[in-house]
Structure 1
Amino acid sequence: MRRGLTLSVIIYFIYGLFFYWYLFMSNDIAIPEAYKGTAADPETFMNARELMLTEEYSNIKNFLYFVLIPFEWFIFFVFLIVGGSKWLQKASTTATSVSFIQTGLYFFWLSLLVNVISFPVEWLSYQISLSYNISTQATGDWINDQIIDFFVNFLLMWIMMAVLYTLIRKFKKRWWLYAWLLSVPFSLFLMFIQPVILDPLYNEFYPLQDKELEKKILSYAEQANIPADHVYEVDMSEKTNALNAYVTGIGDNSRIVLWDTTLEQLTEDEILFIMAHEIGHYVMHHIYIGIAGYLVLSFVGLYLIYRLMNLIVDRWGSYFKVTEVSDLSSLPLFLLLLGMLSFISSPAENYVSRFQEKSADMYAIEMTDNPEAAVMSFQELSRAGLSEVHPPALVKFFKYSHPTLLERINYIGETEEE
């Protein structure tokens, strides 16, 4: 156990040291010489202070992202090898004979442990966002969101883990397949209820107050056959200075949403371009392509987890204090493997997403016939969120679900020239 702990700490330290060196010491994020002085050059639309803050904030944010990704895996790994998972399973099964309640008790305390250990880093991230004027959220409101997050995630995961371990106990060789089949309707259900039940837990939504703008956006939506009678405005200025807009939900629960920060900081033409972009996703059925991609990845992922869990428990079960895959004590191992496989698959998911985002940009250009507004909106997105125009390669590879702002401004500029 001591060797395992020592080795894991060393590996984690080297991993963090690498990304510190990569982000703060070795990377030159200056844009290529060919783009100097163009609309994609941040020096043409940011002042010296904004350029400095963007570089500082982006490096810190990216470093925290890469360091926090394996932090939760590290917690699960340590919890397993010190016997915490075995002890928590015993406590849960002693408290009640009802397996559904056992899973709930086990997962509640495991979630609470992870959240308590992670809280200082989450707090640091929040304070950094405040210091760079990205977040505007009051401390009490931020804590309230964390509590809502905890209980929403706990309740959803409790249901999923209870069903999962029931399947593992009943179908030792096919549980992964049945879990995958059940995940499909459950995911669609969550997508259906998200706009009307989950999102309002965090923010207040109300019909867009600018009726002339709403009329123009709804005319775009009508062309795209989006079943929407209203455009919704959400009060995000109490939480952030960043900008966003989106189309969410499926079927009759589809909603077109604008952040109030977007309304305050962008011109009408820029807002119309952004909304046309979001409508483009709907028109090109990107949400359904995303669902199909999720089905493929989750099918492969659950099968790999099934194989890996059997292998690990058979060979190193005594090391991790796990006797059977069907034991609740194996849950941290399941979550550890799920997190690792999700991270490994993220570059492929991001690549497909970047292609879709470019397609939506092109759709919006065609619909609005206003490439200048598109370029201006991207520049304002960069300035408001202190976002890098030309991020380091590994950051783009693992984090960016959108093309970089350099790429977006550049290909829209090329469209304008044509």
Structure 2
Amino acid sequence: MRLFLFATLGLLGALPGLAHAAAAFDVDHATRLWLATLSAPARARSDAYFEGGEWLALWNTVFSVALCWFLLRVRLLPKVRGAMHRRGWRPWLGVLACALVFIAADSLLSLPWTFYTAYWRERQYGLMNQSVLAWLGDQAIGFVLGAVLGSVLLLVIYAVIRKYPKHWWLIGTGVVGAAIAFLALITPVFIVPLFNTQSELPDGAVRARVVAMARAYNVPSEHIYLVDESRQSDRISANVSGIGPTIRISLNDNLLKKTSVAETAAVMGHELGHYVLGHVWRTIVVLTLLMGLLLWLASRIAPAMIRYGGQRWDVRGLADPASLPVLAGVLSVLTLLAMPLTNTLIRIDESEADAFGLAAAREPDGFASAAMRLSAYRKIAPGPLEEMLFFDHPSGQTRVRMAMQWKKDHVPGATEVVPPPLPDPKP
């Protein structure tokens, strides 16, 4: 009995030591060590870039609405519609002509603004590797692609509006959903190669690690593609894209060149999570439903605006293809207003993929390091409201803290690391 009491007292005496060992890893301190790898000048630069992008969301909408108003004032599409009618062209050809003219006018008139936001500003922050000519070449490819796919989509939408004037938004939602799914299907196989070269990822530690994780979760891994996105920028990225027969694992060459095997494994674990958790299909459904809400609102707002414009715009109703600037302007504003909701829905998926990736790769420090690298163009530590409104991914601070918490919970004898400073971004 005395021996039992001594043993019990000894065990109780050891408990504080055991508790101390379990609590030795300080999540907050470990998180601060990672955040400290970002220098003050680099952090100020990152914050300025991201906060400027928040304002750009507003100014892009203002510019789009102003452009639509200008096209209405000059009656560009009514002139195209009238010309098609005088030539006796079929109504669907008139819609197609209006759609092509609208897409062309929108692209050409907005080119200076697009040049500033997508090229000059990116160049100022050291995020653009292309020359002006190479960038313009990609823009030309994007224009042709947008003109073909966009005009076909608008042709179908306006056919639905003519046939079902009261409930066109409901059927239009299904059309948009089918279009989103179609784009998800063809993008990795037909669209990405228009802008970048894809090659098989060479054998080595990275490929072996990715294949092992993919096989563990039954993700198709016969082919893993390396994309030469360094020709455009230094951003790191990867994805499991496509649906059905076009599913493929891809990573860009920046990820391969600039990160360690642990970082790459953490990033790829996250991307595999999107596939395993069914995020592609969930995103298609969610975006379709959200677009349905926007189309329903547009079906109420756009006709009222057309009545307001009256003879000044020469738009005869929503079924008139000349109403395209009205519909586009209304949807631009609604999309901006829906941005916090859209960001939140996407951020939920991203957070789930983060948790999956940590469990799949078991590289919490690699995950934290990769999250810090994204600080080149993402504000690392926003306030809660800013993160909710403007972030479509968890912030770097949120991700690092998640990684450190996972490390404490799942790595026996977890210890802090003192990571080296991040290199300052190029000017």
* TM-score of the aligned structures, taking structure 2 as reference length: 0.83
Deviation of residue 260 (structure 1)? 0.3
For residue 325 of structure 2, what is the aligned residue in structure 1?
332
1:91 counterpart = 2:80: no
- How many Å separate the matches in 1 of 2:167 and 2:364? 52
For residue 169 of structure 1, what is the aligned residue in structure 2?
162
Deviation of residue 315 (structure 1)? 4.7
Deviation of residue 82 (structure 1)? 4.3
Answer yes or no: is the 8 Å Cα contact 1:54–1:386 preserved in 2: yes
Written as runs of structure 1 = structure 2, the 5 A alignment for 1:134-283 is 134-283=127-276
Answer yes or no: is the 8 Å Cα contact 2:344–2:389 preserved in 1: no
- How many Å separate the matches in 2 of 1:36 and 1:62? 28
1:64 counterpart = 2:56: yes
Partner deviation per Cα, 1:365-401 (whole Å, 9 max, x = no partner) = 112222111111111221xx34210236675344321
Written as runs of structure 1 = structure 2, the 5 A alignment for 1:21-100 is 39-40=31-32, 44-94=36-86, 97-100=89-92
For residue 121 of structure 1, what is the aligned residue in structure 2?
113
- Given the superposition, is the C-alpha separation of residues 417 and 148 from structure 1 closer, same or farther in structure 2, using an over 3 Å criterion? same
Answer yes or no: is the 8 Å Cα contact 2:214–2:272 preserved in 1: yes
1:364 counterpart = 2:357: yes
For residue 6 of structure 1, what is the aligned residue in structure 2?
none
Deviation of residue 333 (structure 1)? 1.0
Q: Secondary structure at the match of 2:230?
A: coil
- Given the superposition, is the C-alpha separation of residues 314 and 61 from structure 1 closer, same or farther in structure 2, using an over 3 Å criterion? closer
- Given the superposition, is the C-alpha separation of residues 52 and 294 from structure 1 closer, same or farther in structure 2, using an over 3 Å criterion? closer
- How many Å separate the matches in 1 of 2:337 and 2:35? 35
Deviation of residue 155 (structure 1)? 0.7
Structure with higher Rg: it is: 2
Partner deviation per Cα, 1:213-256 (whole Å, 9 max, x = no partner) = 21221221122222231111000111101111111001121111
Answer yes or no: is the 8 Å Cα contact 2:153–2:179 preserved in 1: no
For residue 403 of structure 1, what is the aligned residue in structure 2?
394
* AA partner of residue 250 (structure 1): I
For residue 390 of structure 1, what is the aligned residue in structure 2?
381
Answer yes or no: is the 8 Å Cα contact 1:233–1:259 preserved in 2: yes
Root-mean-square deviation (Å): 2.4
- Given the superposition, is the C-alpha separation of residues 207 and 52 from structure 1 closer, same or farther in structure 2, using an over 3 Å criterion? same
Answer yes or no: is the 8 Å Cα contact 1:40–1:409 preserved in 2: no
Runs of 5+ unmatched residues, structure 1? 1-33
Deviation of residue 408 (structure 1)? 1.1
- How many Å separate the matches in 1 of 2:37 and 2:335? 36
Answer yes or no: is the 8 Å Cα contact 2:102–2:324 preserved in 1: no
- Given the superposition, is the C-alpha separation of residues 119 and 38 from structure 1 closer, same or farther in structure 2, using an over 3 Å criterion? farther
Deviation of residue 42 (structure 1)? 7.4
- How many Å separate the matches in 1 of 2:385 and 2:319? 37
- Given the superposition, is the C-alpha separation of residues 393 and 120 from structure 1 closer, same or farther in structure 2, using an over 3 Å criterion? farther
Percentage identity across aligned positions? Answer: 24
- Given the superposition, is the C-alpha separation of residues 175 and 204 from structure 1 closer, same or farther in structure 2, using an over 3 Å criterion? same
- How many Å separate the matches in 2 of 1:399 and 1:141? 30
Answer yes or no: is the 8 Å Cα contact 2:78–2:314 preserved in 1: yes
Partner deviation per Cα, 1:164-190 (whole Å, 9 max, x = no partner) = 212222222232222223333333222
Deviation of residue 286 (structure 1)? 1.2
- Given the superposition, is the C-alpha separation of residues 67 and 215 from structure 1 closer, same or farther in structure 2, using an over 3 Å criterion? same
- Given the superposition, is the C-alpha separation of residues 123 and 313 from structure 1 closer, same or farther in structure 2, using an over 3 Å criterion? closer
* AA partner of residue 417 (structure 1): K
* TM-score of the aligned structures, taking structure 1 as reference length: 0.84
Deviation of residue 48 (structure 1)? 4.1
1:285 counterpart = 2:290: no
* AA partner of residue 244 (structure 1): S
- How many Å separate the matches in 2 of 1:55 and 1:65? 16
Choose between structure 1 and 2 for higher RCO, CA contacts under 8 A separated by at least 6 residues.
2
For residue 20 of structure 1, what is the aligned residue in structure 2?
none
For residue 17 of structure 1, what is the aligned residue in structure 2?
none
- Given the superposition, is the C-alpha separation of residues 180 and 364 from structure 1 closer, same or farther in structure 2, using an over 3 Å criterion? same
Q: Secondary structure at the match of 1:201?
A: helix
- How many Å separate the matches in 2 of 1:329 and 1:129? 35
Answer yes or no: is the 8 Å Cα contact 2:188–2:246 preserved in 1: yes
Q: Secondary structure at the match of 1:241?
A: coil
- Given the superposition, is the C-alpha separation of residues 35 and 123 from structure 1 closer, same or farther in structure 2, using an over 3 Å criterion? farther
Q: Secondary structure at the match of 1:257?
A: strand
Which of 80-89 and 122-131 deviates more?
A: 80-89
Runs of 5+ unmatched residues, structure 2? 1-25, 410-427
Which of 211-220 and 404-413 deviates more?
A: 211-220
Q: Secondary structure at the match of 1:387?
A: coil
For residue 5 of structure 2, what is the aligned residue in structure 1?
none
